[in-house]
Amino acid sequence: MRGPHNIIRLIRTGATLERTGAMKVVLDAFEAPRLVRMVLRGVVWPFQWLGEKGDPNMPAATRALTALGPAYIKFGQVLSTRPDVVGDDLAVQLRVLQDKLPPFPTERAKEAIREELGRPVREVFSDFSEPVAAASIAQVHKATLCETGEQVAVKVLRPGIERAFSRDIDAFYFAADVIEFLSPASRRLRPRDVIAHFEGVVKGELDLRLESASASEFAANTGNDEGFRLPEINWAFSGRRVMTMSWAEGLPLGDNDALDAAGHDRDALGERVLQLFLSHALRDGFFHADMHQGNLKVAANGDIIAYDFGIMGHIDEYTRRVYAEILFGFIQRDYQRVAEVHFEAGYVPADRDVDEFARALRAVGEPIFGMDASQISMGRLLNYLFDVTERFGMETRTELILLQRTMVVVEGVARSLSPRLNIWQVAKPIVEDYIRKSIGPRAFLRDGRRTLAVLARFGPRLPGLVEAALIRQSEGPPAPPVPKKSWWWVLSMLVGAVIGAAVVELGWLF
């Protein structure tokens, strides 16, 4: 990590926010206290000349994040789905970051396609449009295949995106180190692990072969989901920096006026988005982890079409069961069971009091269930849970970061379609169905069959394994090997001793 480089990068971040006017917008959106405003702006103001100007035609927040680079844009995309957190005005501004960023020249895209596929664009596509959508990592062109005449979407990575993203992540790591140094209490949140998780997830977006594979697996899992479909990947014309898929025609899920004009039921769409996400996460353990409005369309028949599979989430079966039990416990208002699940999974240190933890969870859940449907928020619940778990010494679970973040994003999307959506009522049938199939007697028998199948595979080897273990136990631990001292090893030790003596002598002189 290059300290001076990262210090300058973070200073420029604050300077860019101040220079573009985004600092005030962000502080207003988060209702920052006056003292915080004075300190932040007082520190940043002398350095604002170091900040990026950005595109003056854009709103302040969008202008600042676009100028700062891809990692900051990703952060803005998440906030764009949370009008209940940042306010309606800022959410609308940030929504531009989803798929309406300035594109790079079409000729650069054609050059990338030629290098990746080994053929000129005119030999592959009879028609190749200007960019139809541009996001932080890549942009999309509409094209027609020469061989079949099929209309396709061609996704091409931005030039130099790998280096730009690496620079931002480098600065984030430095910021995490500074936070851990200045605030030891923050170490339980494992900020470096959080950044490492974020880095691993987004780096998957920088290899479109991985995205193609994710799309293929996702399609296999969701083929029978009613009201949901995905574009088909064309493997022959896809590679590391280029991905070709069938064209998805539909209305943007974020355009409520267009959806209303077309006669779509926005309440039903909001419910379906949330239920689809929960089904994919709990049933399959493999879910679309970037489900903002820019990655979702509505077909003429009302089907939801998802695309952009660069960020996909995966959770193992055990974690799914834990997460489902926690959700189900909150839905049933069974706070004692929610507390027990946290302890059973090792999420809360065993030396803490489970009954006291259950009472703290009740203090989180009951006020939320007493709210009007439009005020009930998964984001609010997660914020309250964060406060409670901090008090009880729970560490950040990096394997749940992406799941929790996506849950907040999906809730924001669903709420933008149907403001009075009651997330608990919508989630209840999905969670109940998973609990019934995965934690009941049938699941117990299925797990038993799987265990027996594994043991059966090792059956022929079991006598030998047992005999070897008994022999090792009777003989005791093996003696550590004695390293061989070669002539170069002896010489290096002598040289080291001479250098050490010289350093000691010089130390006495100075």
pLDDT at 460 over 90: no
Q: Of 6-15, 218-227, 388-397, 409-418, which range is least confident? A: 388-397
In whole angstroms, give the CA distance from residue 183 to residue 180: 5
Q: How confident is the model at residue 370 (pLDDT cuts 50, 70, 90)?
A: low
SS3 call for 138:
strand
pLDDT given for residue 186 in this prediction: 59
Q: How confident is the model at residue 40 (pLDDT cuts 50, 70, 90)?
A: low
The amino acid at residue 341 is: V
pLDDT at 139 over 50: yes
Look at the block and give the residue holding tokens 């079966």: 317
pLDDT given for residue 257 in this prediction: 93
Average pLDDT over residues 9-23: 78
> What percent of the chain shows pLDDT beyond 70?
72
pTM more than 0.85: no
| SS3 per-residue string spanning 470-485 | HHHHHHCCCCCCCCCC
Angle at CA 74, nearest 5°, toward 199 and 248? 110
Sign of the C-alpha dihedral computed for residues 229, 235, 238 and 244 taken in this order: negative
In whole angstroms, give the CA distance from residue 491 to residue 174: 40
In whole angstroms, give the CA distance from residue 294 to residue 35: 36
Give the residue numbers annotated as catalytic, written as ranges.
290
Contact in structure between 256 and 417 (CB atoms under 8 Å): yes
Q: Of 52-61, 216-225, 387-396, which range is least confident? A: 387-396
Contact in structure between 211 and 205 (CB atoms under 8 Å): yes
Going by the DSSP 8-state scheme, the letter that residue 190 receives in this structure is -
Query: What is the residue extent of each domain of the chain?
Result: 3-98, 249-439, 445-475
Average pLDDT over residues 116-133: 93
Q: How confident is the model at residue 239 (pLDDT cuts 50, 70, 90)?
A: very high
pLDDT given for residue 243 in this prediction: 96
pLDDT given for residue 488 in this prediction: 41
For residue 69, give both structure tokens. Answer: 């680079």
Average pLDDT over residues 34-44: 69
Give the DSSP H or E segment for 155: strand 151-157
> What percent of the chain shows pLDDT beyond 90?
28
In whole angstroms, give the CA distance from residue 210 to residue 60: 34
| SS3 per-residue string spanning 343-408 | HHCCCCCCCCCHHHHHHHHHHHHHHHHCCCHHHCCHHHHHHHHHHHHHHCCCCCCHHHHHHHHHHH
User: Pick the residue with more confidence: 510 or 168?
Assistant: 168
**Most confident of the following: 39-48, 93-102, 306-315:** 306-315
The per-residue pLDDT for range 461-497, each reduced to its tens digit, is 767 767 777 777 776 665 555 455 444 444 444 434 4
**What is the separation, in whole angstroms, between the first and last Cα of the chain?**
32
Average pLDDT over residues 422-431: 84
